[in-house]
Structure 1
Amino acid sequence: MSDVKELKADALEGLNALYRQYARWLDGRLRAHVDPDQAADVVQETYIRAAPYSAGLIRHPRAFLLRIAMNVVRDESRRRKRRGTTETFTEAADPGEAADQVEALMMKQAVLTMPALYREVFVLSRFAGMSYPEIAAARGLSVKAVEWRMSKALQHCVEQLDG
């Protein structure tokens, strides 16, 4: 008996469509942090891991695929450490560090392109650790206004990641 499960035709078509639409984008994102051959391997492994999910139910495909790819890079880093392999997987000393750098860069780009009205609330909440009531008091806003701005900021981040 085999551990391999065959995908249904509609699931396979959904995965193929997902691959055709985002593989080049994902490969480009990864090449900034791993060499081209390794980026191609990570893209392939990403789609293998994405196969069990229904492509039609994935709300944010780029974020979904990037998260899987970062997990693949981290897993490979851990495997290499366990084996005591000293060869480098990325330009960074640690592939997990490279994955974190990709995520940080994407988040920085999203925050920098965010309208200032929303950015201030987002930064105070996510990076300064302030609660909504604290932000409201510090900025002379109602808590509802802070909540609204934060929802717009989060919506902007999602659009940038899925963009």
Structure 2
Amino acid sequence: MAGYKPKLDQQLGNESWTERGIEDLFRLHAGWLRTFLLRRLRAQPADVEDIVQDTYLRAARQPGTVIVHPKAFLSQTATNLFRDGKRRESVRARHRESVAHAGAGAGSAPPGLLEQEAALELERLIVAMPDAYRDVFALSRFRHMTNAEIAAHLDISVKTVEWRMGKALAFCASRLRD
């Protein structure tokens, strides 16, 4: 891969060849590269700016070399970044699918269950729980209290807290199986 080196008369101030070259490269070709990504590769508009930025970052990592054909260099670099992104997306999708498939087989939540739906289901489950179990469950799971702290707070024995917690968990498990 080659970097971009401007002509000597393009160098300004104390900037290095590379800094000035990347600025020139960006100024001259960024608009063209955005259009290339949108029209030729059909990249999502939300992804275009990231790919353009990453393309110029890659060019900046090649100091001291000359780009003879900047558009060819930029288009090839952007195409590689676009393809890498698509491959990563594909791997993630396959992973999500395998996790959802494995989870559905184990009797857990359906694959399409969103976090909001899961939170709503948990709320329904807790509301349906008998009061004595719900108090112990909520103090343990949401306030992160120990069994001894729950016992002192509710003025019951630690054994009663343990028994009620077991019943609360059994209640949750039976409802989730249904």
Mark yes or no: TM-score above 0.5.
no
TM-score normalised by structure 2 residue count: 0.41
TM-score normalised by structure 1 residue count: 0.44
Greater relative contact order (Cα < 8 A, sep 6+): 1
